[in-house]
Amino acid sequence: MPKVVYIEHSGAVREVDAPLGRNLMQVALDNGVDGILGDCGGSCSCATCHGYVDPEWLGKLPPQTETETFMLEGVPDPQPGSRLCCQLRMQAEMDGITIRLPAEQV
Ligand code: FES
């Protein structure tokens, strides 16, 4: 099964299984990863699933929707790799994707 590597704000590295088609907010919650809240349940309306995707993976992800871009404008520390994990569904080509989690969701 494909894997996702989450790097918690504490520096702890969590490598977990990610079923194809499952969004990466839900994968984090399924595995008790610290730093993803997912308050809106994945409807792109809370931005508490913010993460920083490593640059090498950005080209393999679907483009942001207008709603995701709007929501990311409100996070405390946006960076070039900022994405909302609920908007990223696991695909085979994303196996090994690395996402760092921000301080605001600890
Ligand atoms: Fe709310 Fe992703 S879980 S925007």
Q: Is 40 in the pocket of ligand 1 (CB under 6 A)?
A: yes
Q: What is the C-alpha separation between 20 and 94, in angstroms, rounded?
A: 10
Confidence band for 106, pLDDT divided at 50, 70 and 90: confident
Model pLDDT for residues 34-81, shown as the tens digit of each residue = 999 999 999 999 999 999 999 999 999 999 999 999 999 999 999 999
**Three-state secondary structure call for residue 88:** coil
Nearest residue by C-alpha to atom 4 in ligand 1: 44
Q: Please give the single-letter amino acid code of residue 57.
A: W
- CA Rg, the chain, in Å? 12
For residue 33, how far is its CA from the centre of ligand 1 (angstroms)?
15
Are residues 12 and 25 in contact, defined by beta-carbon separation less than 8 angstroms? no
Are residues 68 and 44 in contact, defined by beta-carbon separation less than 8 angstroms? yes
